[in-house]
């Protein structure tokens, strides 16, 4: 097949290609079956003719062994059989009525074996001189060897096979067309779910990735394909939403500190020799620190989005808590109560878990009124770490989005507290990677953020 033909064929629909391939297989199969049927039937009928001729020859030979031999051999009971008895000199001794007075018609030698072979002969002067099947058997006794020839016409067989071939030639195309139509319908029905999935997929746009394909109520490859495509759409939707949210939120969050930084640097440059320069430099330093924390959080989330392999190893979570509490006490004036921290060992990444504890403490310190309380213990194979503050608490309606990125419970509230809005999002991502969960509970007053992690088996 040429390149152009292959390209043309590849552009046809799958349904058409499957139907054409099936039609080709059906055509070859039916044609081959028809040829084999005709050949087998022809051989079977010819064998029956040979058997008939041989049986008649044996009967005539038996009669010839008992002289005198009648010159007229009755053949009425054998249809159009042509019979001749030839002596050793080649003369016709006797013949059937249809060969009476005719010269010798058979010239092949008689078979001396126990299973005489039939011959195809022509030009027997009977009727229209058609094709005959003839056998020759030896006969005669008393030193007078004879040969009995019996031939039966194949005209009936040929006519029957001709009619059969004509019938097959007429019926085969109709059967091929019918089976091809059935294959076309069945193929269309089998591919209908695929076309439905294609149509549904074509309707899904970049702004509508939340739609999903209908899964056929079967357990075949089409159902698995639909589920796989839905999983792909889910991952694509999640990745796209994260990307859009990241770009929008990062642009929004970085605009303010960078604008303030640029303005204050400009002012500092103009008043470098004045007393205000020190205050401007201090303010600049604070903004730089805030920007640094924001960039660090963004990088941490970017790494978590890449789904890195967590280095799972036994970790004493209580030691991490004590270390992070000591660091947090240097950054705040509020007391941090850690008396309820018990010894708990989990399996995970020590650095990532330290980031979780640090972010929880920073969040609690940021919104605490006068006290932050940390507790840690295990319950039935689960480590329960909670960090509570005595601030204003978190409304029930807002708790579902606290762990989302750049979440602000009050969109009009400024970020003067120094938070980037990414700390708790990092907490959730790390905890999820450790097969854990995050919860928010009331503290009366304030809020209690809880992390549940599977403990290390002893």
| Integer Cα distance of 98 and 82 in angstroms | 7
Say what the pLDDT of residue 277 is.
Answer: 66
Which helix or strand (DSSP H or E) is residue 439 part of?
A: strand 437-442
CATH of domain 63-154: 3.30.450
The DSSP-derived string for 332-398 is -SS-EEEEEE---EEEE-HHHHHHHHHHHHHHHHHH-SS-EEEEEEEETTEEEEEEEE-SS---GGG
Say what the pLDDT of residue 374 is.
Answer: 92
CB-based contact 49:130 (threshold 8 Å) = no
Q: Give me the architecture of the 221-305 domain, per CATH.
A: Orthogonal Bundle (1.10)
Nearest of 148, 121, 147 to residue 133 by alpha carbon: 121
Q: State the helix-helix crossing angle for 14-64 and 155-203, rounded to 10 degrees.
A: 170
Say what the pLDDT of residue 402 is.
Answer: 78
Low-confidence ranges of the chain (pLDDT < 50): 76-78, 411-416
Q: Using a CB cutoff of 8 Å and minimum separation of 24, what contacts does 435-439 make? A: 438/403
> HSE of 104 in the Cβ direction (CA atoms, 13 Å)?
15
Supply the pTM of this predicted model. 0.49
Say what the pLDDT of residue 377 is.
Answer: 92
End-to-end CA distance of the chain: 68
Q: Which CATH class, in words, describes the domain spanning 313-454?
A: alpha beta
CA distances from 457 to 278, 313, 341, 344, 381 (A): 56, 12, 19, 11, 8
Domains of the chain, residue spans: 63-154, 221-305, 313-454
């Amino acid at each position: 097949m040429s390149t152009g033909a292959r390209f043309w064929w590849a552009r046809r629909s799958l349904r058409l290609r499957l139907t054409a391939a099936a039609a080709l297989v059906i055509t070859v199969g039916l044609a081959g079956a028809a040829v084999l049927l005709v050949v087998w039937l022809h051989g079977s009928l010819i064998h029956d003719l040979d058997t008939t001729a041989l049986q008649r020859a044996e009967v005539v030979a038996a009669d010839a062994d008992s002289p005198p031999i009648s010159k007229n051999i009755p053949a009425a009971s054998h249809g159009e059989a042509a019979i001749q008895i030839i002596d050793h000199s080649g003369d016709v001794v006797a013949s059937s009525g249809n060969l009476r007075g005719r010269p010798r018609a058979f010239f092949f030698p008689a078979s001396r074996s126990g299973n005489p072979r039939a011959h195809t002969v022509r030009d027997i002067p009977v009727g229209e001189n058609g094709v005959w099947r003839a056998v020759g058997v030896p006969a005669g006794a008393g030193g007078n060897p004879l040969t009995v020839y019996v031939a039966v016409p194949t005209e009936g067989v040929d006519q029957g096979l001709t009619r059969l071939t004509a019938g097959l030639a007429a019926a085969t195309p109709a059967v091929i067309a019918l089976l091809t139509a059935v294959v076309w319908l069945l193929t269309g029905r089998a591919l209908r779910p695929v076309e439905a999935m294609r149509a549904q997929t074509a309707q899904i746009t970049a702004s509508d990735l939340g739609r999903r394909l209908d899964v056929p109520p079967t357990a075949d490859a089409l159902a698995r394909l639909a589920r796989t495509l839905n999983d792909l759409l889910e991952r694509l939707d999640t990745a796209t939403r994260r990307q859009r949210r990241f770009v929008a939120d990062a642009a929004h969050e970085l605009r303010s500190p960078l604008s303030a930084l640029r303005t204050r640097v400009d002012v500092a440059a103009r008043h470098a020799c004045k007393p205000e320069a020190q205050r401007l430099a201090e303010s600049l330093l604070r903004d730089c620190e805030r920007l640094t924390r924001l960039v660090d959080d963004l990088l941490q989330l970017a790494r978590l989005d890449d789904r890195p392999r967590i280095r799972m190893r036994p970790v004493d979570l209580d030691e991490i808590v004590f270390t992070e509490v000591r660091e947090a006490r240097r950054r705040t004036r509020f007391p941090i109560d850690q008396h309820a921290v018990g010894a708990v060992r989990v399996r995970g990444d020590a650095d990532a878990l330290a980031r979780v504890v640090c972010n929880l403490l920073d969040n609690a310190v940021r919104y605490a009124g006068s006290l932050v309380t940390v507790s840690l213990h295990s319950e039935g194979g689960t480590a329960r770490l909670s960090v509570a503050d005595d601030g204003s608490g978190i409304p029930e309606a807002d708790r579902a989005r606290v762990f989302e990125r750049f979440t602000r419970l009050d969109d009009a509230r400024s970020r003067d507290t120094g938070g980037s809005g990414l700390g708790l999002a990092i907490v959730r991502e790390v905890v999820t990677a450790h097969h854990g969960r995050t919860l928010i509970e009331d503290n009366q007053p304030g809020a209690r953020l809880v992390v549940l992690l599977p403990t290390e088996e002893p």
